[in-house]
Every structure is written in C-alpha cells, then in structure tokens.
Structure 1
C-alpha cells in the first residue's frame, strides 16, 4: 500500500506539520502519531505504551489499501515530556495528555483520536481508519 511517512522531532514539528497538511488532500487518510523518543541504548521508546502500540498501528496501516500519510511526531525524552509546559501539552490544537496518541487529521482539524490507553487496540484503530 502507498504509505507516506514523515518524521518530526519537537524542534522540527511545525515545519514538518505544515508539509504534511499541505499534501493532505492527496490521501485517503492522514494520521499523526505522537510518540516518545527512543532510548539510544535500546533503540526502543522509553514509553512502554508506545512500544506496545507502534507495531499494531503499523500493521494496520500497512494492511490498508488506501493512500495513507503518517506523521510520526516524537515528543522528547521522559523529562522533556513530563514537563507540564511541554509545547504539545499546551498546544491548543493537539492538547496531548499522553503518548502514544494517534490522531486522524481531516480538513485542517482533528477528526478522531486514540489516546495512550487505547492506541494499541486493533478494533479502535480500524474504527479510526474507517471514519475517514
């Protein structure tokens, strides 16, 4: 399936997000996945929920026959993310409370979202994708 993946860090997020939204009309589904950074010593996320959800999300997206764009946005290391003034926690659009968070983006707005406690559930991912 034609899946386009863009990666963004906290410092590059705004520019990558603008590119993502400018190309959004070309895709059947536009998804943003907010993740915790990977620990360089293990190459796994420091967030156990991210480690659990990522493979399930990727499997579902790769199985889709639609054009899907995925923006993976890394929120930082644990101390950065835990800061209550983290830019994505206070962002008026995303209002993140946890990672991973999977968002369906359509027409310049959030159409649906799966929070950290449900982002690994296949049926919820299916519902999010079918709403597009």
Structure 2
C-alpha cells in the first residue's frame, strides 16, 4: 500500500494507529518540505528507502510532516508530545495494540535496521532480490 500523507489531527492519528490491533500500524514523521525538498538531510536520505519498504505492504502507514525548522524546534510541537514523543527526524513509529516503538534518525535509512523494524520482506520484495 503506498504511503499516504495525512492531514488528520494528532489525536485522530493516535486513535487510528491504536485501533488496528491485529497487525502493526506505522506513522512516518518527516521534516516539512521547502521548495519541494525536505530541510532535513536525514529525511531526504530516508524517504526513498521508506517509500520502497512500504510500497507493497498491507499495513496502515501514515506520513506526517512535523513542520519547518522553526515549527519543529518548538517544545509544544504536537509530534513531540505523548503518545508520539518524537525527538529527532525522521522517525518511524510502529504501534501494535498499545505498544509504541520508534526507529529514529539514521536508523531509518539503515536498510538492515529498517527491515528488522518493519518486519520480514513481502513475497514481492523477495522477488526483487
């Protein structure tokens, strides 16, 4: 399932992530774009790998943009608050039932860590090897 950029409120996203208990749900948190490009170098590095990883999967995957640099740096940024508790960008949050896990910053664009966090390769991913 291709990644979908969400414009839902943080509370609606949290509720949506927690409502899918049979399989994990994911939230990808990136820095916002300026002139079509993320201001965050780690986000730019991660985006193609994350897009490819989730392209043929069935899990719920939402993408949000945490803001421009000045918005992101504010302590009241909603993505820094519980239950998201994002400290660095990019971050992938995996919610299984009521368990929240995070893959953060350079670990997001480390293919081995990304694969381990998201789960086993799908049949289609394995065919491309």
Q: Summarize the Cα distance change of 1:29–1:71 in structure 2 as closer, same or farther, 3 Å threshold.
A: same
Structure 2: segments with no counterpart, 5+ residues = 121-129
**Range moving further from structure 2, 55-64 or 67-76:** 55-64
SS in structure 2 of the partner of residue 123 of structure 1: helix
Query: What is the TM-score normalised by the length of structure 2?
Result: 0.79
* 1:4 Cα deviation after fit: 5.8
Correspondence for 2:111? 122
Structure 1: segments with no counterpart, 5+ residues = none
Aligned residues: 120
1:60 aligns with 2:49: no
> Map of 1:101-120 to 2, 5 A cutoff?
101-110=91-100, 112-120=101-109
Distance between the aligned counterparts of 2:47 and 2:2, measured in 1?
A: 16
Check whether the contact 2:14–2:83 (CA below 8 A) recurs between aligned residues: no
Please, what is the CA RMSD of the aligned residues? 2.2
Distance between the aligned counterparts of 1:5 and 1:25, measured in 2?
A: 19
Q: Summarize the Cα distance change of 1:93–1:7 in structure 2 as closer, same or farther, 3 Å threshold.
A: same
More strand by share: 1
Correspondence for 1:85? 76
Query: What is the TM-score normalised by the length of structure 1?
Result: 0.77
> Map of 1:1-16 to 2, 5 A cutoff?
3=1, 5-9=3-7, 12-16=9-13
Distance between the aligned counterparts of 2:52 and 2:14, measured in 1?
A: 23
